[in-house]
Chains A and B, each alone.
Chain A
Amino acid sequence: MDLDEPQTKNPLATFATKPVGITFESQEEGEQILLLLRPHVATLIPAILVTIFLILVPIILNSFLLAFNLEITFLTSGQSFLLSIFWYLVVFAYAFYRFLFWYFDIYILTNERIVDFDFRGVLNKEIAFATLDHIEDISPKTRGFFGTLFNFGDVFVQTAGTTPEFNFRRVPNPDLVAQKILEQVRGEEEEASGDANK
């Protein structure tokens, strides 16, 4: 994947260079989003499998009852229908919840800083920033079978700021992400040394 590719228009992209139509809270004037990351789509596979299984549970249950010639007599058809609706609402709520927390699990690299949006649990918002000149060390890590297969992993960013370490969790192309951050940090350092020499 070429990092210098033009603006990404896909709102569901997990590795979006210069994403179109995306802004963030506290974005400063002139600050440009260079890279937007969210966990790799493969990290959604367990949730998708659970959702499919939950969708199939009533069908499996029905097949089981038919196979063993069992009949539920204590529920009217209306009650059965309502219970089915309950079930599918729970399934939908689960799927929506998982999607929401995946979609908004965002890491941003701008021309000024890195930003980590954390929405852990319900009604809990935590946003951490670190300016590029505070970044000290970047280490990408790809772990496990699925990480290697789908090329996703963690990028640890050590900073001298109030948040000592940023962890970009399960992002695609961790090496490329680290490289891009490093490029920006070097650019910022050159800019700062250029200003100091004047």
Chain B
Amino acid sequence: MPISSEIFNIPNLLGFGFALKAFAILFAVFYVIFGLVIFRQTQLMAKALPSAISPFLKFIAILQIGTSLALLFSVIGVF
């Protein structure tokens, strides 16, 4: 039994694709902000307590920002 978007009654107003795109962009924007906050937090923590894995943690935090930006641009382009 196929589940169609009509079940959710979303497409009647704006179209399901549009709603999904709006959600995706909003999500990606929030994720970019979250990534920036986590990066700053990692910097603060690593400054207070430098350790062997601090550079690695900072790298992960940067990677997260990069991924979120890539996602944001791809969301704008994909749909």
Chain A residues within 8 Å of B, Cβ to Cβ: 11-12, 21-25, 68-75, 78-79, 82, 85-86, 89, 92-93, 96-97, 100, 103-104, 106, 117, 119, 122-123, 125, 127
Contacts and interface: CB of A to CB of B under 8 A. Distances in A.
B22 interface: no
A96 B20 CA distance: 27
Q: Is the interface of A mostly helix, strand, loop or mixed?
A: loop
Interface residues of B, number: 38
A103 B2 CA distance: 46
Q: Identify whether the interface residues of B are mostly helix, strand, loop, or mixed.
A: helix
Contact of A96 (B44, B60, B68): B60
Nearest to B52: A11
A119 B45 contact: yes
Contacts of B16: 74
Contact of B1 (A12, A71, A117): A71
Contacts of A75: 20
Name the 8 nearest CB pairs between A and B, nearest first.
A74-B5, A11-B52, A104-B45, A73-B2, A25-B48, A71-B2, A21-B52, A11-B53
B14 interface: no
Nearest to A72: B3
A22 B51 contact: yes
Contact of A127 (B24, B34, B48, B74): B48
